[in-house]
A and B are shown apart, each in its own frame.
Chain A
Amino acid sequence: MSNLPDRSGVSAALPTPLHSRTGPLCRTSNWRRWSGFLAADSYEPSHHREYHAVRAAAALFDISPLFKYRLTGPGARALADRMLTRDVTRLATGRVLYSPWCDARGKIRDDGTLQRLGEDDYRLTSAQPTLGWITDLARGLDVSVSDESEGTAALALQGPLSWKVLAAAGARAIGSPRYFGLTRAPLGGVETWISRTGYTGDLGYELWMPADGACAVWDTLIEAGRDFGIAPAGLAALDIARIEAALPLVHTDYVPAHEALIGAQRSSPFEMGLGWAVDLDKPAFVGKEALRAETGEPPRWRFCGIAIDWDSLERVFWRAGLPPLLPHGAVRSSAPLFHKSRQVGYASSRTWSPVLKSYIGLAHIEASHGPVGTNLEMQITVEHRPARVGVRVVKTPFFNPRRKRATPA
């Protein structure tokens, strides 16, 4: 299409390789910018249907703005292992792992997934540009690091019917990859990497393909998905789903260590509930010494799930003569948490969860107030005045269906 924005140049809002498809569908022009690309916030006036497609049918997200790096060569594995806090050496070909990575102080810079495409061939996704840092880290290793962020487009197909869509689109013969597995199939004539991963906590897949083939894959999925209620979905729906799945969002739930202006803004994996992803037994990785030292002392912060108590919410609004006003979507602004008169933390994300019928949030809480079942108060604004509502620390993920880990047949 000739009237599309130019995909080259230095614009602050470039179209993704899928813009010729997503552009006309975004009837509301409700765009957000994501790493310098245009990303639909919601295609329809409200995000409701897109959200429910994630939980009841199949939703298709354009996630091309993710940064993607290809690590190839005999030293690729060593590089990834040096960078990520998890043990990469046991990652088999055709498998994917999620991991954060830290700075030398043991504070999180970013998090992403590492796909092992072949013997010496890895793809790393990240939320932020990381090429320079990886390249520095690669010194002395026989590895080539290339930025394939723009050359590779990516789609996320998420929801309980996502496999049915994918199967109907041509992946039936190869079968579904297992949870965090990776496979390859031609979709719409385009050779596509399919990983059994996602950012929604549901059954789902992420698809990786050459940018010039992205539209063919999109068209194939939309066509195959017609019978399964497929919906193109935007970031508003994704944001609710990822909070329900208790997946942290960079810049919202944590500040990348290298961008922090003060120490208090940095978080270690332990403080983010990612201790399980730190392998202190592996030889060397960035931040290891600091992280080892951290294990010797009790953690200062915990990253927790909170549920806002409905009755107390209704009460504070009732006092103002109002029905409880729930957020329309995910709220990315911070809300202070109190134990009696003392602030003991803050909620960094929160949302009304339509599938759980509960008002939930992700919060940084001083460790002593972090155990599940602890009652705290959260400060909100009711009719321009501060008010406090009861919250309780609850188990995460808030939403954790069996199908999340399933391998559909």
Chain B
Amino acid sequence: MSIRGDHDAVIVGGGHNGLVSAAYLARAGLKVLVLERRHLVGGAAVTQEVFPGFRYSVASYVVSLLRPEIIRDLRLPEHGLDILPLESTLTPLPGGDSLARWSDPDQTRREIARWSPRDADAYADFSRCMYKLAWALKPLLSTVPPNPLRPGVRDAKTIRELARAVRGLDEADFERLFKLTTMSAADFLSEWFETGPLIATMSASGIIGTFAGPRTPGTAYVLLHHYLGEIDGVFRAWGFARGGNGAVSESIASAARSLGAEIRTSAPVEQVITSGGRARGVVLEGGEEIGARVVLSGLDPKRTFLQLLDQSDLPGEFVKSIQRFRIRGSSGKVNLALSELPRFTCLAGAGGSLTRTPGEAETLLRGAISISPSVDYLERAYDDAKYGRFSRRPFMDIVIPSMIDPTMAPPGKHVMSVFVQYAPFALDGGWNRVKRDAFGDAVIDTLAEFAPGLRDIILHRQVMTPLDMQQQMGLTEGNIFHGELTLQQLFLFRPVTGWANFRTPVRGYYQCGSGAHPGGGVCGAPGRLAALEVLRDLKVRRGRS
């Protein structure tokens, strides 16, 4: 087979992780080519003007986990990355009351004390505890998982370093850490709190992107995963990228290009070319062949192994493990163009025991809004999904990006980003246009219970089902994390035990997407760590820092 072998590295997929890999490899002086199927880079982190004048973060919509070392190494701020803070979380409740968590701890304490003075104090303790655990676990995010089966010298060193990182924890912290990895989010939180809406809203972090309910064991870890993000040295800080999440991808792409990487869009890769157990390049749809010393895949594990490779290139056990890898899609996304700000009953001063000032109401509309009034509500939403239906009354995580970055919509108008769960990929009877509309209606109907009049201000609505996300963005089953973030699929086990170090059974073929350690959430760590492993194998220095 004769192919052009003029690239050091070819990267399949121009999502944020593929772009991060490209930038790090180019920085080390390699000749890098990124091949993206779509007409734009970013994968699931894209901003598109779907309706004239209104810019949607079509799928992923907030930033927290993006590794600070990547922002520094790649100088992303110089390439346009600007993260604006999301400072509050509002949980509207039936009847017009609401629970808010603010950026100011005293304000949050008073807010929670309306329900339970005990919880108000516990909230501060809980935050400190999670902070400590996040600080202890932070090194994991920048560590190549060791091989527990055949530990080499480097693996042993990694294990020692991780042990040192958790040394600062006391017995109580260890117990909590164990509980976090095994318990359900709702059970774990109920050990700390008694206020229903508080437990529900906090436990919602444990189910995002996961086909599980708040009472499903293992969901507490996903909760912790959401505390690992940091912005400006503050853990658990969440932000909104100016220009939407596409701006994150574009800043990484710009950095990669400035470092010499080439990015080709509308260039779908059909297969990875192998010979003698080694990757030699890729072939595009249409037949163009591109040779490379190494190939990296930013696609999810199913696609990386079962679609891009000839399965005879992989050991049978490995194929089975990838087939077992859980990647069930559980969420959808609804993006709305609004002619004016929605009026939430709980912010209008009507009903409830608390009247919020106009200033406070405005502040809360700049933060996250969580439709998670009770654990039962969330669990019922999951019940629907368990039996193949979308939630009739779903959990929703909402932001109004135009309140944070006014350029997302024309003056005075707004965009609303609604993350919706549950929308199972495996819908009874399958997804089609009618079901998509019905799903969109369920979202609007539920939301209108908390913000009456919403229907009248909708100028445009984009509904993304898990099938849409699979078809448009190449997320298998529409799973936003490239595979669930449950313990048996994390760290040493992501995606397959023994292959968590970004390598694959095919020499010269690497995994650099969210299906690799430490997982998804616009974190970039898989892309960075994979690139550093490639450089190690190619015996190339990391490049200038």
> Which residues does A use to contact B, with CB under 8 Å?
25, 27, 44-46, 48-49, 52, 55-57, 161, 164, 168, 226-229, 310, 321, 323-326, 352, 354-358
In contact, B405 and A56 (Cβ under 8 angstroms)? yes
In contact, B82 and A56 (Cβ under 8 angstroms)? yes
Measured in the bound complex, the distance between the Cα atoms of B102 and A356 in whole Å is 25
In contact, B406 and A227 (Cβ under 8 angstroms)? yes
By CB atoms of chain B within 10 A, which of A25, A48, A56 has the most? A56
Let me know if B94 is at the binding interface, CB within 8 A: no
In contact, A357 and B406 (Cβ under 8 angstroms)? no
Let me know if B351 is at the binding interface, CB within 8 A: no
Let me know if B232 is at the binding interface, CB within 8 A: yes
Measured in the bound complex, the distance between the Cα atoms of B406 and A220 in whole Å is 19
Chain B window 374-414, contacts with chain A (Cβ cutoff 8 Å), 1 for yes, 0 for no: 00000000000000000000000000000111110001100
CB-CB < 8 A to A356: which residues of B? 77
Contact of A46 among B103, B366, B406, B407 (CB under 8 A): B103
In contact, A55 and B82 (Cβ under 8 angstroms)? yes
Q: How far is the CB of B476 from chain A (nearest CB, A)?
A: 33
CB-CB < 8 A to B412: which residues of A? 226-227
Measured in the bound complex, the distance between the Cα atoms of B168 and A310 in whole Å is 22
Residue of B nearest to A310 (CB): B72
In contact, A325 and B84 (Cβ under 8 angstroms)? no
Let me know if B270 is at the binding interface, CB within 8 A: no
Given A48-B85, A49-B87, A227-B406, A27–B359 Cβ distance below 8 Å? yes
In contact, B363 and A44 (Cβ under 8 angstroms)? yes
Given A227-B412, A310-B72, A357-B77, A326–B233 Cβ distance below 8 Å? yes
In contact, A357 and B71 (Cβ under 8 angstroms)? yes
Residue of B nearest to A57 (CB): B406
In contact, A323 and B135 (Cβ under 8 angstroms)? yes
Chain B window 82-115, contacts with chain A (Cβ cutoff 8 Å), 1 for yes, 0 for no: 1111010000000000000011101100000000
Besides the contacts A161-B407, A310-B72, what 8 more A-B pairs have beta carbons closer than 8 Å? Answer: A49-B85, A52-B84, A323-B138, A326-B233, A354-B232, A356-B77, A357-B71, A357-B81
In contact, A228 and B366 (Cβ under 8 angstroms)? no
In contact, A357 and B103 (Cβ under 8 angstroms)? no
CB-CB < 8 A to A321: which residues of B? 168
CB-CB < 8 A to B106: which residues of A? 45
CB-CB < 8 A to A45: which residues of B? 102-104, 106-107
Q: How far is the CB of B265 from chain A (nearest CB, A)?
A: 26
Q: How far is the CB of A263 from chain B (nearest CB, A)?
A: 39
Let me know if B242 is at the binding interface, CB within 8 A: yes
Let me know if B68 is at the binding interface, CB within 8 A: yes
Measured in the bound complex, the distance between the Cα atoms of B71 and A355 in whole Å is 11
By CB atoms of chain A within 10 A, which of B76, B82, B84, B242 has the most? B84
CB-CB < 8 A to B135: which residues of A? 323
In contact, A357 and B233 (Cβ under 8 angstroms)? no
In contact, A46 and B104 (Cβ under 8 angstroms)? yes
Chain B residue total in the interface (Cβ 8 A): 33
Contact of A357 among B72, B104, B235 (CB under 8 A): B72
CB-CB < 8 A to A48: which residues of B? 85, 87, 103
Residue of B nearest to A51 (CB): B85
CB-CB < 8 A to A324: which residues of B? 233
Sample (21) of A-B pairs whose CB atoms are under 8 Å apart: A46-B87, A46-B103, A48-B85, A48-B87, A48-B103, A49-B87, A55-B82, A56-B405, A164-B411, A228-B406, A228-B411, A229-B406, A323-B135, A323-B233, A325-B233, A352-B233, A356-B77, A357-B71, A357-B72, A357-B77, A358-B77
Measured in the bound complex, the distance between the Cα atoms of B68 and A222 in whole Å is 35
> Which residues does B use to contact A, with CB under 8 Å?
68, 71-72, 76-77, 81-85, 87, 102-104, 106-107, 135, 138, 168, 232-233, 235, 242, 359, 363, 366, 403-407, 411-412
Measured in the bound complex, the distance between the Cα atoms of B233 and A325 in whole Å is 7
CB-CB < 8 A to B407: which residues of A? 161
CB-CB < 8 A to A354: which residues of B? 83, 232
Q: How far is the CB of A244 from chain B (nearest CB, A)?
A: 11
Q: How far is the CB of A343 from chain B (nearest CB, A)?
A: 27
CB-CB < 8 A to A310: which residues of B? 68, 72
Measured in the bound complex, the distance between the Cα atoms of B412 and A36 in whole Å is 39
Residue of B nearest to A27 (CB): B359
Q: How far is the CB of A247 from chain B (nearest CB, A)?
A: 19
CB-CB < 8 A to A55: which residues of B? 82
Measured in the bound complex, the distance between the Cα atoms of B233 and A357 in whole Å is 10
CB-CB < 8 A to B103: which residues of A? 45-46, 48
Residue of A nearest to B132 (CB): A323
Q: How far is the CB of A208 from chain B (nearest CB, A)?
A: 26
Q: How far is the CB of B398 from chain A (nearest CB, A)?
A: 18
Q: How far is the CB of A328 from chain B (nearest CB, A)?
A: 10
CB-CB < 8 A to B83: which residues of A? 354
By CB atoms of chain A within 10 A, which of B77, B135, B138 has the most? B77
Residue of B nearest to A399 (CB): B77
Q: How far is the CB of A240 from chain B (nearest CB, A)?
A: 11
Q: How far is the CB of A48 from chain B (nearest CB, A)?
A: 5
Residue of B nearest to A46 (CB): B103
> 3 smallest A-B Cβ distances: which pairs?
A227-B411, A45-B104, A229-B406
In contact, B84 and A56 (Cβ under 8 angstroms)? yes
CB-CB < 8 A to B366: which residues of A? 49
Measured in the bound complex, the distance between the Cα atoms of B114 and A3 in whole Å is 31
In contact, B232 and A326 (Cβ under 8 angstroms)? yes
In contact, A357 and B107 (Cβ under 8 angstroms)? no
In contact, B82 and A355 (Cβ under 8 angstroms)? yes
Q: How far is the CB of B541 from chain A (nearest CB, A)?
A: 17
CB-CB < 8 A to A27: which residues of B? 359
CB-CB < 8 A to A46: which residues of B? 87, 103-104
CB-CB < 8 A to A229: which residues of B? 403-406
Measured in the bound complex, the distance between the Cα atoms of B407 and A323 in whole Å is 35
CB-CB < 8 A to B81: which residues of A? 357
Given A227-B411, A357-B76, A52–B233 Cβ distance below 8 Å? no
Residue of B nearest to A317 (CB): B233
CB-CB < 8 A to B138: which residues of A? 323
Measured in the bound complex, the distance between the Cα atoms of B250 and A118 in whole Å is 47
Q: How far is the CB of A267 from chain B (nearest CB, A)?
A: 30
Residue of A nearest to B366 (CB): A49
CB-CB < 8 A to B102: which residues of A? 45
In contact, A352 and B242 (Cβ under 8 angstroms)? no
CB-CB < 8 A to A352: which residues of B? 232-233
Residue of B nearest to A227 (CB): B411
In contact, B77 and A355 (Cβ under 8 angstroms)? yes
Measured in the bound complex, the distance between the Cα atoms of B235 and A326 in whole Å is 12
Measured in the bound complex, the distance between the Cα atoms of B138 and A356 in whole Å is 22
In contact, A56 and B242 (Cβ under 8 angstroms)? yes
CB-CB < 8 A to B168: which residues of A? 321
Q: How far is the CB of B128 from chain A (nearest CB, A)?
A: 13
Measured in the bound complex, the distance between the Cα atoms of B232 and A355 in whole Å is 10
Residue of A nearest to B107 (CB): A45
In contact, B107 and A52 (Cβ under 8 angstroms)? no
CB-CB < 8 A to B84: which residues of A? 52, 56
CB-CB < 8 A to B359: which residues of A? 25, 27
Measured in the bound complex, the distance between the Cα atoms of B537 and A361 in whole Å is 39
Measured in the bound complex, the distance between the Cα atoms of B103 and A46 in whole Å is 8
Residue of A nearest to B68 (CB): A357
Measured in the bound complex, the distance between the Cα atoms of B135 and A326 in whole Å is 15
CB-CB < 8 A to B82: which residues of A? 55-56, 355
Q: How far is the CB of B406 from chain A (nearest CB, A)?
A: 4
Measured in the bound complex, the distance between the Cα atoms of B85 and A403 in whole Å is 22
CB-CB < 8 A to A323: which residues of B? 135, 138, 233, 235
